[in-house]
Structure 1
Amino acid sequence: MDDLLYLVHRIPWPPNKGDKIRSHHILRYLAQHYRVHLGTFIDDPADAAYLPELEGLCASVCARPLPRRRAQLRALSGLLSGEALSVPWYRDRELARWVRATLARQPVARALAFSSAMAQYLPEGGGLTRVVDFVDVDSDKWTQYAPTRRWPMSAIYRREGRRLLAYERQVAQASDASLFVSPAEADTFREQAPEVADRVHALNNGVDAAFFSPDAVAAPGPYADGVRTVVFSGAMDYWPNVDAVIWFADHVLPALRLEHPGVEFCIVGSRPAPEVMALADRPGVTVTGFVDDVRPWIAHATVVIAPLRIARGVQNKVLEAMALARPVVASPQALEGLTAMVGREVIRAEAEPGAFLQAVSGYLRAPDPALGHAARTRVLADYDWARNLAHLGEFLRLHPGGVPGAEPVPEAAHGR
């Protein structure tokens, strides 16, 4: 098999959060077709336990520690250099040295960088086919964060949005193909970087539909008999998720419990931020923290919610709930880029108290099992990892400067 360099900003194992789910499945696909040389960072010391699995899968691995404090100090150098702070955050001399040595010693003709910050390690020219999986338009995410924070963080986030977009455009200009997680995300970047529009493409996420299957979840569930539960799942140290659950608990849950006494709000996810943990003191709220298996918490929920007000890309939490045949009430931001039919496969509600209350309360009053079944059918049709990742091979087989002839996923999302 040919050699390939794969650079990932966070160790792609285990697949326990959004970006790691995508990078993990990409690695498994790559290992079936290439001798993979993996360069990555470990930002959670517990993840070092998974290095043997990576070393068994790859031809070589360089996994560098990324303590948060050290990364923050490196990022501050961007204020002096004029760079986007995200770039020096992931700058490491040892990883750069390993990349240079790997390219010198191995016949590597293809490289895939997962996230724009990892593209800083790729040399230009030399016959190397460069593909960058941006996943999301991260610059736009920082711009969305800015209005939610007070000065000076609001100013720093606006600066990061501007500087990161400039960097993303430079990366795309130097790459043979730039990939994004959905057609909507790809369209957003084309609008902001029209000079590279012909080299911007969508590569849909997938779901392990056999793992996230109602038939694979044991009964009984984790909830008390007869209790109706509204569930949110996700990494609970991630600001958009934190913002979503606090907003729901503040502005929707009190009225919902008046209309439906006894309804419980369950927040499922690792590393809950202090302000999330504080919600557990309120009546009707449970914060689980890390759970060994998220599936029972979702599969036995009465309804799953995704009231995200800040979002980019495709939300794996929504896809996983759909795969488990659960009804999902989600904001337009959480549904952006999905091909789900609104009203038939998911329920869309604006992240506005009255609208979201009406949607969740309406489902609790009149549950519709057909909604969940239709949601799983949509996942099986459009979000199969093997089928979607087959298109990745088309991009990696590019000759420098070439582009595929067709978009690999549907251009339009139903019911957006």
Structure 2
Amino acid sequence: MRILALTSWWPEPANNGSRLRIANLLRALAQKHEVHLVSFRQEAVSAQQIQRMLRICASVDVVPQRVWRPQPGEQIVSLWRSEPASVRATWNPEFAARVGERATDARPDVVVAFQIDTAPYALHVARAPRLLEELEVGNIHAHYVNQTSTHRRLRAWLTWRKHASYVQRLLRHFDACTVVSDNEQQLVRRIAPEMEAIHVLPNGADVHGCARDWGSPEPDTLIYPGALTYDANFDAVKYFISEIFPRVRHVRPGVRFVVTGAAPPELRVALPQAEGVHFTGYVDDVRSLIARSWCEVVPLRQGGGTRLKVLEALALGTPVVSTPKGVEGLDLKQDEHVLIAQTPGEFAAATVRLLEEPELRSRLASAGRQIVAQKYDWSSIGQRLVDLVAALAPHTVVQSKRHLPGQISV
């Protein structure tokens, strides 16, 4: 089967949740089928990166992504238009042209649009079933629901209604879509009740890749993997440092809090200053740092989807303390797989408990590995996507992936 894959992120390095998901699912599709990739890129892509991608894809096209910077008054004007302002502002004729050209050359049996940013371009491919992979609407809906002031709530409602209307119209042109959780599935059903094929395909972790010796654990080390440049991560780190970490250090004065990922100086100075807080900056492979930590803290209060950082920590055998938001959409039980805490006091108490009880750490580590292996291993999740794509083109003769000479366009 020939698959045309459209991705909103260049799949490597797999240093954020979107890239991790795209990379693992692309690999699963390419193991069984012939995949042609048209991808946006956020930064320069090296020849070595492209060659690595050509090992699994029959062809690769890369297009620079346009960045949307809202202009004053743009949101007011956009109220009278049918599409969200971000959709119009980031429309990329070059990407659309590449999709059309590759569709003509490859004659795909199925088109898979990874995330909503690439969905409009899939409409340029005729006579092929379309799958929208990882439709996410919960973040915008939550932003509206959580507003308290009347003015902000009205603006957030208008944004939500426009986005929901856009998603409803878009889904009329797709044969199926996937979401990461049951909550997302229910929300999409409310938006587009006529769309029957809404499949839950959760996020995952590389269980096999995590099962290795990462070195000796570092006592009293807490970790949060996440770039401060993402608003939800910045809020989580600020919340932890200001309201939770001082309570933990009061009981365990030697505890360290390590934050991985991009941490620009202008964002770091906006955080409370506290002893014991360390910023690593960008790390190629954060797994060793997570595996050696006694605890991963996930003090998230906003954002959508499900957290790959939680699943990866559990796969590595690192216990997790999280807010309810941080484990939203995951089939994890309190005090069996993770510790869940609502208030700053509860979060600090759960963290201290984990640091002081080695038996608890051991029990959570074992249960965490087990639940991820059972329900969230990328290998099984990838196979579910392969089966879904195959079902969309039932008249296609499914053959093993042909080894074609790679084609590239940058």
Instruction: Give the TM bin, normalised by the shorter chain.
Output: 0.7 to 0.9
- Pick the aligned partner of 2:210 from 202, 209, 212: 212
> What residue number does 1:60 align with?
59
CA drift of 1:232 comes to 0.8
Quote the Cα distance in structure 2 between the aligned partners of 1:75 and 1:386: 46
Would you say the 8 A contact 2:100–2:125 is kept in 1? no
Count residues in correspondence: 389
Pairing 1:14-163 to 2, within 5 Å after superposition: 14-45=13-44, 50-66=49-65, 68=67, 71-72=68-69, 79-80=77-78, 81-123=81-123, 126-137=126-137, 140-145=138-143, 158-163=157-162
CA drift of 1:135 comes to 4.4
> What residue number does 2:351 align with?
360
TM-score normalised to structure 1 length: 0.84
**RCO comparison, higher one (Cα < 8 Å, 6+):** 2
Would you say the 8 A contact 2:220–2:294 is kept in 1? yes
Q: RMSD value over aligned CA atoms?
A: 2.9
Pairing 1:334-353 to 2, within 5 Å after superposition: 334-350=326-342, 352-353=343-344
Quote the Cα distance in structure 1 between the aligned partners of 2:393 and 2:165: 23
Q: SS of 1:228's equivalent?
A: strand
Quote the Cα distance in structure 1 between the aligned partners of 2:390 and 2:109: 10
> What residue number does 1:10 align with?
9
Quote the Cα distance in structure 2 between the aligned partners of 1:148 and 1:113: 31
Would you say the 8 A contact 2:224–2:259 is kept in 1? yes
Q: SS of 1:302's equivalent?
A: strand
Name stretches of at least 5 consecutive residues in structure 1 with no aligned partner: 403-416
1:142-162, Cα deviation, whole Å (9 max, x unpaired): 343465799999876554433
Would you say the 8 A contact 2:103–2:125 is kept in 1? no
Identical-residue share of aligned pairs (%) = 29
Name stretches of at least 5 consecutive residues in structure 2 with no aligned partner: 396-410
CA drift of 1:22 comes to 0.5
Q: SS of 2:112's equivalent?
A: strand
Would you say the 8 A contact 1:75–1:85 is kept in 2? no
CA drift of 1:385 comes to 1.5
CA drift of 1:113 comes to 0.2
CA drift of 1:273 comes to 6.9
CA drift of 1:201 comes to 0.9
Would you say the 8 A contact 2:29–2:382 is kept in 1? no
1:130–1:265 distance in 2 versus 1, CA, 3 Å: same
Q: SS of 2:306's equivalent?
A: coil
1:97–1:73 distance in 2 versus 1, CA, 3 Å: farther
1:372 and 2:365 equivalent?
A: yes
> What residue number does 1:306 align with?
298
Pairing 1:138-287 to 2, within 5 Å after superposition: 140-145=138-143, 158-196=157-195, 198-213=196-211, 215-219=212-216, 227-272=219-264, 274-276=266-268, 278-279=270-271, 281-287=273-279
CA drift of 1:120 comes to 0.4
Would you say the 8 A contact 2:31–2:56 is kept in 1? no
Would you say the 8 A contact 1:12–1:24 is kept in 2? yes
Would you say the 8 A contact 2:96–2:124 is kept in 1? no
1:75-98, Cα deviation, whole Å (9 max, x unpaired): 997754442134235421111111
TM-score normalised to structure 2 length: 0.85
1:331 and 2:320 equivalent?
A: no
1:280–1:295 distance in 2 versus 1, CA, 3 Å: farther
CA drift of 1:286 comes to 0.9
